[in-house]
Amino acid sequence: MKIVFVLDLYGVPGNGMTLSATRMAKCLRDRGHEIAIICGNENGDAAVHATGIKRYPILYQVARSQGMFLAHPREDVVEKVIGDADVVHFMLPFELERKAKKIADRLNIPSTAGIHLQPENITSTLYLERFGFLNEMLYKIHKRFYDRFDHIHCPSRMIQKQLDKRDAKAKLHVISNGVSEKFAPRAVEKPNSWRDKFVITMVGRYSREKRQDILIEAIRRSKHEKDIQLVFAGRGPWRKKLVRLSKKLTNPVAFSFYQQEDLIDVLNASDLYVHASDIDIEAISCLEAFACGLVPVISDSETSATSQFALDEKNRFRAGDADHLAKKIDWMVNHPQEREKLSFRYREFADRFRLERSVEKMEAMFEEAIRDHKNRKD
């Protein structure tokens, strides 16, 4: 098949959606498919067709701080790339995607869509997350776009339920974004400065909805605070605030953005993974952590799908509750043998979410969409 992905940005380090798209595209190519990408930014990939970045006043700066951009909806680029496509897959609901969907329909080309952004991501960035009516307004706006598709990729059951609750018209395909086989247990020694510490790692963008602040406060309240080394792997606009908050802790927090191989080493050198985020459609970072055998403790937030990965109550804490998280951390520190048993369970569990399996399911969705489109024509 010739498959065209349409999304505003592609191949941007530190952005979970673009990372998933990059891995999915590579895996599909390896399986013999022709892949083309329509996005706003150039990135040196010959398969990428850039339309340019829109620089709206204020909005551009806000989006950029979150590692996000909005693309120009250039009709000439879109028509040229999708003209001979077998299927077009849309990953966001913005201006570029809306224009490209109209063109795909006009050219009679099958199309599918994926949910990779929650309205809560937007309202949290703007400090408006408490105004529930704004989230519902955005859901309604996005729904008008997604209701134009017959097949939609949902990376988690949580987002499927959100769409079902709002009467989604399409067939919903629950398919993990998939974790690479590279994320696996390996023998790694802790750096000297971490050698006698209990290392807790959290991976993700430094931003309000990820709630790194709750983890800092939980460690401050932990009975083992002086023995804990905290690692925040990522980048983002909340860094200065997190650095300031982290001064409450005995041991300096490690703030760094890691390339994939280095990140795998960090995860394998860690003792515990905490995912404190309030908002996540799937959170591949958590999947990657336990694929390396790292036991997670995960927020039970209703707007985060990540709690689906909690195999035991020991792996779950009440969203936004630093005291509850501190107790979970202390239990993990005090029970290394139980933690090792959980590690083994998580390594097996991770196999359900391997990228190869996800790609096979995506292929099946694309093929079904093409068949349904052909049957309507006939």
Q: Which tokens sit at 112?
A: 């599918």
Residue that wins the pLDDT comparison between 41 and 126: 41
Domains of the chain: 2-178+354-377 (3.40.50.2000), 192-352 (3.40.50.2000)
Give the pLDDT confidence of 63-80 residue by residue, as tens digits: 665 567 889 999 999 999
At 11 the pLDDT is: 81
What's the CA gap between 15 and 164, in Å, rounded? Answer: 27
Give the pLDDT confidence of 263-312 residue by residue, as tens digits: 999 999 999 999 999 988 888 999 999 999 999 999 999 889 899 999 99
Residue type, 133: F
What's the CA gap between 340 and 330, in Å, rounded? Answer: 15
Per-residue pLDDT for 217 more than 80?
yes
Tokens 């292929």 identify what position?
363
Q: Which residues, other chains included, contact 216 with Cβ-Cβ below 8 Å and sequence gap of 6+?
A: 230, 242, 245, 246, 248, 249, 253
Of residues 9, 151, 178, the one with CA closest to residue 87: 151
What's the CA gap between 280 and 52, in Å, rounded? Answer: 28
Q: What is the pTM of this model?
A: 0.88
At 194 the pLDDT is: 95
Q: Which tokens sit at 235?
A: 């980048």
Min mean pLDDT across 29-33, 133-137, 151-155, 303-307 is at 133-137
Contacts 24+ apart (CB under 8 A), 74-79: 75/99, 75/103, 77/38, 77/49, 77/50, 77/51, 78/6, 78/38, 78/51, 78/103, 79/103, 79/107
3-state secondary structure at position 296? strand
Of residues 291, 250, 247, the one with CA closest to residue 268: 291
